A = this chain, B = another copy of it.
Amino acid sequence: MATAIPMIELWRGGMLESEHLGHAVIYGPGGIEMAWGDPDAVIFPRSSVKMIQALPLIESGAAQAAGLTDRQLALACASHSGAALHRDGVAQWLHALGMGEADLRCGAHMPRDREERRRLTCSDEAPCQIHNNCSGKHAGFLTLNRHLGGGPEYVDMSHPVQQAVKSAFEDVTQEASPGFGIDGCSAPNFATSITGLARAMQFFAAASPAGSRREAAAARLARAMAQFPEMVAGEGRACTELMHAMGGRVAVKTGAEAVFVAILPEQKRGIALKIMDGGTRASEAAVTALLIRLGALERNHPVVDRLLTGTQRNWRGIATGELRLAPGFG
């Protein structure tokens, strides 16, 4: 903890107002290439590892048996906004499985998507579990579970679905996970080091479709995410906008409490970072800086302005400040 380093600063009136500390690792074919803070810091990756949680879905043959498309696989890796395209995508997926909303175990929350939120609010309709940003992941769990023949409580740690996830997780991070927490969506979330997480992303980046079963699954998931950015998050969201900006060449994923990862297949590199205070504005800015550093993202793309370099403005459009990279980072 003590070794987290300043990464992102907020300036106002020519003075430093706030700052965010974190850890980050860039992992390449030969191992760690760059690290900031403590590469051994243990974190909960939260939703940044949904592509790992989806590996057993493909490796088991469940995805093929259910005829899942790449668009659905992108949704399995999503923290989606609960917009109509996500809602309908999950609802149709469950229907095709012969299942429904009640089979989910993710809980319900009001979706982030403005239009869908408005529709629910103004019609006095409660959000359902399909609106949960993790409902695509859970549809994937249900698909795997039907294939494995497990019981309905598929988020229990002892359930075959989560045992398969844990095994895949420890394999691609190349670490024995020191423990797990319960995520917002009730699924177990396995802890790992920043290095373990970056190593896992490097595995996805280097995975060959013609390689092992696990490699083929990883390659397909990374490609699916990069090809369907709108399914992975939603309009205006950092993941979606960053992947659009990189034209399908890179997959990125955020996780709660300010985790961000990136998979760069052309470079066979993975990125993992965690802002220790959980501030999402900083994890978004930090991953933007590292993607620019690696040449994957154009410095003058509008999304860079929005997430990192742009002037911050108040309700009347008056400039109030800006984010800056802390000295020594990015």
Contact = CB atoms under 8 A, between A and B. Distances in A.
Contact of A12 (B15, B20, B44, B276): B44
Contact of A121 (B17, B43, B122, B258): B122
Which of A1, A276, A319 has the most B CB atoms < 10 Å from its CB? A276
Contacts of A21: 21, 277
B315 A18 contact: no
Nearest to A2: B6
A257 interface: yes
A275 B10 CA distance: 13
Interface in A256-276: 257-258, 275-276
Contacts of A191: 13, 15
A158 interface: no
A186 B276 contact: no
A99 interface: no
A181 B319 contact: no
A184 B314 contact: yes
A13 B180 CA distance: 6
A279 B279 contact: yes
Contacts of A17: 43-44, 181, 257, 278
Interface in A293-330: 314-316, 318-321
A19 B181 contact: no
Contacts of A277: 18-21, 275, 277, 279, 282
A316 B314 CA distance: 36
Nearest to A133: B315
A185 B320 CA distance: 10
Interface string A106-121: 1111000000001001
A182 B11 CA distance: 11
A12 B118 contact: no
Contact of A132 (B184, B257, B315): B315
A13 B315 contact: no
A315 B130 CA distance: 13
A4 to B, nearest CB: 9
A179 B14 contact: yes
A186 B314 contact: yes
A148 to B, nearest CB: 22
Nearest to A190: B13
A105 interface: yes
B19 A276 contact: yes
A316 B107 contact: yes
A30 interface: no
Given A10-B257, A12-B181, A183-B314, 8 more contacts: A13-B182, A15-B42, A18-B276, A21-B21, A21-B277, A181-B321, A186-B318, A277-B277
9 contacts: A12-B189, A15-B178, A18-B278, A21-B277, A107-B314, A182-B318, A277-B279, A277-B282, A279-B279
